[in-house]
A = this chain, B = another copy of it.
Amino acid sequence: MVAKIIVRTNVVLHLSYKGTCFYGWQSQKNLPTIQDALEKAISACGLGPVRLCGSGRTDAGVHALDYVANFLTEKKLPAARIKEALNAHLPDGIRVTRVEKAPAVFHSRYHASSKVYRYLIADRFSPFLENTAWVVRDPVDVKKMKDASSLLLGEKDFSSFQSSGSCIRNAVRTVKSISIHRTHFTLDPSVKIISVEIEATGFLYRMARNMVGLLVEAGRGRLSLAQVSRIIAAKDRRLAPPPAPADGLYLKKVCYPKRKRNE
């Protein structure tokens, strides 16, 4: 008997998707999810069946600009062909933007060193927004949001920003940067958009939305800096404002140490 050596390729997918039509990233019985749509497309291309490893869960309605997932396959196909083939089988709401090959040990979730989330807040409703931003009609002061955001930077226990439904005990994370800008909406320039970008070594359950919820309350003038400090220090979710809605949230980037992707 001759032993058969199976050589498997670790395929890394970069994805953008509009979360509105999906019940989040993770596979669910009888509900459309991004993971299920992709696994179906991978099978339809003759590369499956596979189980995709995602770089994290995104909630229903949350979008992604550059989500990373990977899977192992024994089939051989050039990366460029995989991209084309998958896109031909995917609905318009999901797009594979890049396909790469990685060392067999690479895992899109375990090896992520940080993530960047982006959040959009619109000052009024527009028919062109379609679930892509949170509409806040009250005046929001960007300067006040920036002042409050500086209190969230660094290594801290972020228990006040972790929604229930998570079993994570250690809530210490490092928020590396928060940048806040005002811009005009390309499709309807009469709409003003505030974008908030948060980079952290990891995000607790709903941490990005809970942070934006607090920053908008600060921007509305409903929370002073002293109150924001107290909320952070309390390590108690019940004292912080409600989360910003899923519509405005985008996973913008997943960062990896260079050696993990290439070693």
Q: Which A residues form the contact surface with B (CB < 8 A)?
A: 16-18, 63, 65-66, 92-95, 97, 120, 125-128, 130, 132, 183-190, 193, 195
Contact = CB atoms under 8 A, between A and B. Distances in A.
Contacts of A92: 127, 130
Contacts of A66: 190
Q: Which of A18, A183, A187, A190 has most chain B Cβ within 10 Å?
A: A187
Contacts of A132: 128, 187
A127 B188 contact: no
A95 B127 contact: yes
Nearest to A92: B127
Nearest to A66: B190
16 contacts: A18-B128, A18-B130, A63-B128, A65-B189, A65-B190, A92-B130, A94-B127, A95-B126, A97-B190, A120-B186, A130-B130, A183-B186, A186-B186, A186-B187, A186-B193, A186-B195
Contacts of A95: 125-127
A249 to B, nearest CB: 12
A97 B186 CA distance: 18
A226 to B, nearest CB: 34
Nearest to A252: B189
Contacts of A183: 186
